[in-house]
């Protein structure tokens, strides 16, 4: 018997959004989308002083902007304490902040992988642990995890980034089951290549790329992404609008309020299909074998 999906309800009032990584790209577009629709936006970035015009824009329109370094082990609890003191109760948490280190798997040092995990996995995890209890107690909340096609199906030279994104996806799959009875919803957004500043923020491992990989198609694509020469297909403002509407159940989100996964970008369609086909193929090849390794009664 198929598991029945929960039905989530939303209060009929403006929501309070906490969004990480608002200094550019999707975070900024989503902050603008939520704010333009009458919601309270609590924007964050590592160094707000670097984008005074954006801070001014958000605060002028009734929002607030806070410094947040997701790598700090105490940042989530400290921010929550500040928000509690200001009387803010978070309805929507958007884990968006991040970067990628690009290279062959054998290039990465432990320190580089740990730093990647700190930003993409542990930082969002700490925010979830700080904020979800309040959502559960109030019997409403939405956690949006901005993930990636890299974490879904893997992409050459993105081993550390894909591992961190896949870890966060796994956490959210479990959390979704745990908090659904309390009207708290998880939405994982598998993002394709959008016109953000993601590429320019990518790092490279300290260890040189082995000669066998030099000049490969995957390496050329990664270099194009880092240099900003790779042409993005996704429109960030359009993507933010879709995320906003799916969260609040308006526009394209009507009737889709219970969905847990949101692929965004034309390039994501073949990647989702690839994962689907791989799983079907695995069952076709090994399904009868999997079904015959049981303990004899």
Q: How many residues does the chain have?
A: 297
Residue in 23, 147, 148, 226 annotated catalytic: 147
Whether residue 66 lies in the annotated active site: no
Question: By C-alpha distance, which of 143, 192, 204, 205 is closest to 168?
Answer: 143
Phi and psi of 290, rounded to 5°?
Answer: -60, -35
Whether residue 99 lies in the annotated active site: no
Question: By C-alpha distance, which of 98, 83, 88, 185 is closest to 143?
Answer: 185
Whether residue 213 lies in the annotated active site: no
Q: Is there a contact between 9 and 33 (Cβ–Cβ < 8 Å)?
A: no
For residue 66, list its beta bridge partners: 44
Residue in 66, 121, 161, 244 annotated catalytic: 161
DSSP type of residue 211: G
Question: By C-alpha distance, which of 36, 34, 32 is closest to 54?
Answer: 32
Give the tokens for residue 50.
């670097």
Catalytic residues: 147, 161, 165
């Amino acid at each position: 018997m198929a598991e029945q999906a929960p039905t989530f309800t939303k209060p009929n009032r403006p929501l309070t959004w906490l969004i990480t990584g608002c200094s550019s790209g999707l975070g900024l577009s989503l902050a603008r989308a939520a704010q333009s629709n009458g919601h309270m936006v609590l924007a964050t970035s590592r160094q707000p002083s670097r984008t005074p015009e954006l801070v001014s824009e958000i605060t002028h329109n009734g929002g607030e902007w806070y410094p947040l370094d997701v790598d700090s082990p105490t940042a989530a609890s400290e921010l929550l304490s500040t928000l509690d003191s200001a009387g803010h109760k978070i309805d929507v948490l958007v884990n968006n902040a991040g970067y990628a280190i690009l290279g062959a798997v054998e290039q990465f040092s432990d320190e580089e992988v740990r730093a990647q995990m700190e930003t993409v996995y542990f930082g969002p995890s700490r925010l979830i642990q700080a904020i979800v209890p309040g959502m559960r107690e109030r019997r409403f909340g939405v956690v949006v995890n901005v993930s990636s096609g890299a974490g879904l199906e893997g992409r050459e030279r993105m081993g550390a980034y894909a591992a961190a994104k896949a870890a966060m996806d796994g956490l959210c799959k479990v959390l979704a089951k745990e908090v659904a009875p309390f009207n708290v919803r998880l939405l994982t957004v598998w993002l394709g290549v959008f016109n953000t500043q993601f590429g320019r923020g990518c790092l490279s491992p300290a260890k040189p790329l082995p000669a066998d990989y030099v000049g490969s198609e995957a390496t050329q694509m990664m270099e194009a992404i880092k240099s900003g020469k790779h042409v993005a297909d996704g429109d960030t403002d359009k993507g933010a609008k879709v995320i906003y509407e799916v969260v609040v159940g308006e526009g394209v989100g009507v009737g889709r309020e219970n969905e847990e996964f949101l692929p965004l970008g034309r390039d994501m369609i073949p990647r989702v299909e690839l994962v689907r086909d791989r799983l079907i193929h695995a069952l076709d090849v090994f399904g009868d074998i999997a079904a015959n390794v049981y303990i004899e009664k």
